[in-house]
Structure formats: structure tokens, C-alpha cells
A and B are shown apart, each in its own frame.
Chain A
Amino acid sequence: MNVYLMIAVCSAVTLVPRILPLFVRTLDSLPKTIRKCMLLLPIAALGCLIFPLSLTDFSSSWYAGLVGVVAAFLSSYFRRPMIISIIISLVLTTLMLVLFP
């Protein structure tokens, strides 16, 4: 795939939803259900962003991915800042790959 084309297209589909409402005022009054879905969509996307790719990306060492994901989840559940969760997850995943290759 042409990477530059992908970048251009993604830029367009990111900027249009941001810029258009400043020009087209009717977008302001979308039905309530649509607005509700738009706000919930990023939460709903998280599950399929994580599974199954976080496991399959490590192919046979899938458990390393699972440990990393669970660690980051628990760390942020207990109110650690995001960057700390990511570092903990990276360290544990590296350890898993070193200890159980």
C-alpha cells in the first residue's frame, strides 16, 4: 500500500469531522441516539483494538502480549498515570519474552 496515500486519506477523515461543523451548522442538532453512539464509540473500539491482535502479534509467545495488556489494565485501574502503565507493561512483556522465549 502507498503509505503517503494512506496518510493523506487518514488526514482527510480526521480533519473533516473537526472542521466541517465550524461551517455547516446543521450538524449541531443530530438526534440524541446518534450523539450517544458517537460518544460511546471510542470506548467500544478499545476491545477490538486490543483483541485478538495484542496476542497474535507475538505469534507463539502470545502469553507475553496477554501479560502486557493485563498489567497495563490493572495499573491504570488502580489510578497509575498512563505513561507508568505503558512502561510497566513494556518491562513485563520484555521479561516474558526473555524468560519464556
Chain B
Amino acid sequence: MNVRRKSKAFQVLFAVAGECEFDENLIYSIAKHSHFWKNLHGKGIVLMQESTLCAKDGMKDGFPIFLGYFTTALAFGLLTRTSGLTLVQGVLISLTNYAGSGQFLMMNLYNAGSFLFEIALSVFFINSRYIFMSASLYPHLIDKKSVVKRILIGFGVTDENFAVSSLKGKMLPFPYMMGLIFTAYSGWVSGTFIGFVAGNFLPPVVQKASVITVYAMFASLLGGEVRRNAKALLVLLVSGLSNSVFILLVGIPTGFSFLLSMLLATAFACFIYTDEEVFGV
């Protein structure tokens, strides 16, 4: 079991190091697995190893995530710029949110002129998966009595941080978590800053075309999903088609239409995906 866990850990490190794309499916299967292991642990079957992890280990594990976040954040920085935000606002988003898909979604809806309520609800829905991740990380944590420490760790539960830390197979001390979380965080924030500033030096036609970066990011996530499971293509069809019909033909406001289509497609996906495909075996 330990060997299997380690090989998965390497896959995640490769994924975040940019060797292949961010493998969301893998992350979810880990989310499921760590939940499973925690339950076994509760029954005394799996014993966590004695932990010797320190802040330096965290920084080492965080470095591949730093690289992946930095490059993605470049695109985000550019997007905030083309959306008409100031440098301070753009960087403030990355500083306070620290969430890839949530931030891209927020800018998307902002550009489409949505209401704040629609943006908030959509961002909440897309982030609801973190409930599951945080909950399954909790049993691995040491020093969880302190309120401040719990808040700081919770702040850093991104898909990649979660995947890497919960795959350690060890109890996770606070300094390790901080090393991991804030190494990755520095990549996210500095990438946003540099992406915004670099936008200055791009010719106007490239700046106009740069709107595509956010959609290219979503499309490349989708490419990976479809390769793993062709059912994702059906979900794309339901999701994209219903949103297009709602916006272009029915004339529903973008934010609300997005919410509707997202929930519709989720229900559809829940129906066509088997439990094994979602949770792994």
C-alpha cells in the first residue's frame, strides 16, 4: 500500500512540475483515497509513520508546485490587466483568494458584467470541493488545537497542496504545512504580478488575443479529462450547449446562466459517471 501511495505521489509531483498538465482526476482520486485511509486508520489498520517533517521538507515539496503556479499565474496576471483592473487589484485577488479556477471564473463573470451575487454563488460552488479536501486532511494534521494554525492551514488547501501533503503518508506538523503552502503561494502571487507587468510589453494585437489564455487553460484541462474519460466530452456538450442557448437565445444574464448550466451539467455528470470513475476503486 505504501508503494502505491509513493508512486502516486511522484505522479502528482510530475503533474505540478509541468511534466504533464494538472491532473485534476488524480487529485480527486487522492481526495477519495486519503478519506479511505483515514477511515482505515480510525479502525487501527493503517498506522501513520512517526513524523519528522520540518519546514524545509515543506519548501522542498512545494517547489514543483511553485513552478506550476507561477506559470499559471502569469496568465492570470495578464487577464486582470486586459480586464481593466489595476496592478494592486490584480495582485490583491491572488493574495486573498489563492485559488486558480475560482479566480479565473471570477474574472470571467466580472468581464461579462455579472452581478456580485451571481459571481459569489458561482465561485462558492466551484470551490465547494475544498470542503471535502479539508475534511479529509484534518486527521493527518498535528497541532490542530490552535485556531490560528487551523486558519493558516485552511487558507492553503488548494488542489495541489492538498494532494501533495495528504500523500506524504505521515502525520503533518504545522511547520511542514507552512513551508509547503507558502512556497506555492509565493509562486502564485509573484506570477500574477509579473504577468500583469509583462502585459505592458506585448503588442496590441497579442493583448487582444490574450483573452484566449483563460479559455485555453480551461480547454487544456478539458483535454486531459477527455483523454482519461471520454464521458467528459458529453458533459462538455451539455454544459457548453445549455450555457450558449441560455445566453444567446433565451437571453438569461451570464452569471445566472452559468450557474444554471453548471448545476445542470453536474447533475448530468453525476448520472453518467459511475461511482468507481469518480472515487477510484
Where the two chains meet, the residues of A that have a C-beta atom closer than 8 Å to any C-beta of B are 1, 3-11, 13-23, 25, 27-28, 30, 32-33, 35-54, 56-58, 64-65, 68-83, 85-86, 89-90, 93-94, 97-98
Contact = CB atoms under 8 A, between A and B. Distances in A.
Given A6-B119, A18-B154, A74 B102 contact: no
Nearest to A15: B155
B105 interface: yes
Interface of B: 18-22, 24, 28, 31-32, 71-72, 75, 85, 89, 92-93, 96-99, 101-106, 108, 110-112, 116, 119-121, 123-138, 141, 144, 150-151, 153-155, 157, 205-206, 208-213, 215-227, 232, 235-244, 247-248, 254, 257-258, 261-262, 265-270, 273, 275, 278-279
A65 B55 CA distance: 44
B75 A48 contact: no
B240 A50 contact: yes
Contacts of A49: 104-105, 108, 215, 218, 258
Contacts of A42: 24, 101, 126, 129
A37 B263 CA distance: 9
* B contacts with A: majority SS: helix
A81 B268 contact: no
Ranked nearest first, the 4 interchain pairs of A and B with the lowest CB-CB distance are A47-B239, A19-B154, A76-B223, A51-B240
Contacts of A28: 135-136, 138
